[in-house]
Structure 1
Amino acid sequence: MSTGKAERLLIADDDPDLVEAYVLFFETYGYAIQTAADGIGALAAYSAWHPDVVMLDIQMPRMDGRAVAREIRRMSVIPWPLLLAVTALGAPSERDESLKAGFDHHFVKPAQLPVILAAIASHATI
């Protein structure tokens, strides 16, 4: 069942089991999905594909998720993609750092996927 909202979703996380779970969940809602296992791969996929939503782990090899978010924001693509941090970093200061880097939301693992879906849906109606 599609939400009728954002159709392209890029998911980047270095945990292949989490990526698989995320893909299974979001495909159920009709999202076209690409994945990356590190920050460099995420940035390359974003540049080539221009998804509506980018879901990034913060602690990834080769380039962390915050660096990826800053680079995406520097590209000044209009409309901006919705950037979601999904990370094990749960301290309030970590959330603040994510927002400063350009993320729209900061979710702490284990993330509730229906909550992330609701955040995507609410953004798409704005």
Structure 2
Amino acid sequence: MSTTKAERLLIADDDPDLVNAYVLFFEAYGFIIQKATDGVSALAAYSAWRPDVVMLDIQMPGRDGHAVAREIRRIGTVPRPLLVAVTGQRASSQRVESFRAGFDHHFVKPAQLPIILAVIASRSTP
């Protein structure tokens, strides 16, 4: 099964096993994927590639996901990428911080990938 449009998805997480699982899942739906294992490389990949969707862990080495999200929003790319936090941070205050940083969605690990897929698929395009 594939999406109607091959969207570009950047996945950043410092757990290589999770990244590989995410890649397998989203590639099966036709996404074109780049990966990063820390915040600095995630921001570099975003700047060079300008993906449609960015899925970020919050607690990563280098720069955390909040710092990466704030920088992506500061860049002001049009159309705006969908920013999805996938993190172990469960507290409501942490969720609020994700939205303040510029994330569109905040999912807690272990994330339900079909739900994330549905969120990506149902977003309205600018």
Q: Equivalents in 1 of 2:6, 2:72: separation in Å?
A: 17
Task: For 2:55, give the aligned amino acid.
Answer: M
Q: 1:31 to 1:109 in 2, by over 3 A?
A: same
Contact preservation (8 Å) 1:5, 1:124:
no
Q: Which residue of 2 aligns with 1:37?
A: 37
Distance 1:100 1:115 in 2: 22
- Correspondence list, 1:1-126, <5 A: 1-5=1-5, 7-124=7-124
For this pair of structures, how many residues does the alignment match?
Answer: 126
Gaps of 5+ in 2: none
What percent of counterpart residues are identical? 75
Report the TM-score, using the length of structure 2 for normalisation: 0.97
Cα-to-partner distance string for 1:80-114 (whole Å, 9 max, x where unaligned): 10000000001111100000000000000000000
Please give the per-residue CA displacement for 1:45-78, whole angstroms capped at 9, x wherever unaligned: 0000000000000000000000000000000111
TM-score (norm 1): 0.97
Question: C-alpha distance in 2, partners of 1:34/1:84?
Answer: 15
What displacement does 1:4 show?
1.4
Which consecutive segments of 4 or more residues in structure 1 shift more than 6 A? Answer: none
